[in-house]
Amino acid sequence: MITFRQLVFLCLLFLFQVAVFGWIEWRWGARRIEWRKVLLADLVAVLFFALVVRQAAGYLNGWTGIRGPWPAAIGSWPLPVRLVLYLLVADFGAYWTHRLVHLKPLWRVHRWHHSPTHMYWLAGSRTSILQQAIFNLPYIFASPILGVSPFWLANALFFFYATTNGWMHLNVNWRLRGLDWILVTPQSHHIHHSDDPSHYGSNFGVLLSIWDRMFRTFTSPKDLSPDTLRFGIGEKVPVARLAIGL
């Protein structure tokens, strides 16, 4: 059950994203969004994630989450070093988890995330219960690296990853050709959401794009115009099944 403090934190986070991402897209938007058609559904998806998905996935992870057998000596390392190691290990696992849910046996758990035919910062909020439970696993596996850490770190990481999710789905016309050598950018991630079959199997990175480059799944956005991409899964599935991941 979500607590009042958690609810306040989520509301403040959402308002921050509305202010920052909303202004960025208003200033540098790449595609026109038909707000009357999409906004209500996206807001419902956000509420569903906050009130249902996080709690249900956490319950499932109580049975499935496995923490890595990290050496106890790591606990004596400075927090910044442990934090960087945690981010690298978790992101490496997230890359492979993302590839895994694009395979046919697990595609159903992930297809709700790809169902929007529009793309902007809020469109990435669609996360099925089963997808969230699976995507939590690499972070749970890496969590002992952080060990004993300040009380605020969990909220800071949630803020960081929520902001990262909004960032990679941003509807912007920026050209960030140097940055996408290291980080996932909106342009590179939008290719991942593209309904063009030639883009299937591309750009699985969550935070870092280096894994895509290492394992040859990177498709560069340098020769693509953002407004030429189209999105969606090309099939109609009952919303209840999409939301659960079945």
Question: What confidence tens digit (pLDDT) does each residue in 210-230 have?
Answer: 999 999 999 988 877 666 788
pTM, entire model: 0.93
User: DSSP class of residue 227?
Assistant: G
141-152: average pLDDT: 88
Smallest CA-to-CA distance from 185 within 201, 199, 198, 166 is with 166
> In this structure, are residues 221 and 196 in contact, taking their beta carbons and an 8 Å threshold?
no
Residues 6+ apart with CB under 8 A from 47: none
- Mean per-residue pLDDT, 185-211: 93
Question: At 52, is the pLDDT very low, low, confident or very high (cuts 50, 70, 90)?
Answer: very high
Q: At 60, which helix (H) or strand (E)?
A: helix 54-64
Instruction: State the greatest distance between any 2 C-alpha atoms of the chain, in Å, as a whole number.
Output: 55
Is-contact 49 125, C-beta < 8 A? yes
CA distance 26 to 168: 16
